[in-house]
Amino acid sequence: MPAENSVEVHRLRKSVGQGEHELSILTGVELVVKRGETIALIGESGSGKSTLLAILAGLDDGSSGEVSLVGKPLHQMDEEARAQLRAQHVGFVFQSFMLIPTLNALENVELPALLRGENSGQSKAGAKALLEQLGLGKRLDHLPAQLSGGEQQRVA
C-alpha cells in the first residue's frame, strides 16, 4: 500500500559553517504533503527554498531532523538508494532548463524513463505522446538550441 504522505519533514534544520561563522538556512521546518496534494514554496531570494527542495529530493542532507519521501526515511538510505527513489518519485523543473544540448527534444524527455529502467520502445512512445500533448509534435528532432525558451521549458 502506498504511503499516505508523499513528504514528511520534522524538526529539519540546515546550517553551514561553524561557531561564530555558522549560518542557519533552515530552522525547525515541519511539513507534511499528502499523496496527490500540490503545494508551492514561496519566499524571498535566499530564504532556503532551493535548499529545502534539495533536501526533500535527497540531494543534500539537513544538519538535523527527519525527512521521509513516500514513507522512506532519507537519512537511512545510501546514495544509490536515494538515486533510485529520485528516479521513481521526484521530478524537478529547474530555472535553467538543464536540457542536454546534444540530445533532441524527444531524447531529452525520454532519458529519465530510460534511467528508471523502462524499455526503449515504451519510453520513446511515452516521450513522444507527452511532447505531442504539449504541442511539440513537430519539434521532436530539434536540439535545445533550435527551440524557443517556451519550447525548452515544455521539454524540461
Q: Answer yes or no: is pLDDT of 28 > 90.
A: yes
Give the chain's domains with CATH numbers.
5-89 (3.40.50.300), 105-155 (no CATH)
Three-state SS at 123: helix
pLDDT value of position 39: 92
Q: Quote the pLDDT of residue 18.
A: 83
Q: What is the mean pLDDT of the chain?
A: 91
Q: Per-residue pLDDT tens for 85-122?
A: 998 888 776 667 889 999 999 999 999 999 888 999 99
Q: Which helix (H) or strand (E) holds 66?
A: strand 64-69
Choice among 16-20, 68-72, 95-99, 132-136 with the minimum mean pLDDT: 95-99
C-alpha cell at 150: 517556451
Residue 116 has what pLDDT?
87
Q: Kindly state the helix (H) or strand (E) to which residue 11 belongs, with its residue range.
A: strand 5-16
Q: Please give the pLDDT value at position 17.
A: 84
C-alpha cell at 127: 516521450
Distances (CA, A) of 76 to 1, 23, 65, 68, 90: 21, 26, 12, 10, 18
- Structure confidence at residue 23 (pLDDT): 86
pLDDT of residue 135: 94
CA dist 70 and 58 (Å) reads 12
Distance CA 56, CA 44 (A): 19
Please tell me which residue, 94 or 131, carries the higher pLDDT value: 131
What is this structure's pTM?
Answer: 0.65
Listed in sequence order, the DSSP H helices in 11-63 are 49-56
Terminal-to-terminal C-alpha distance of the chain: 31
d(C-alpha 88, C-alpha 52), whole Å: 19
Residue 2 confidence (pLDDT): 65
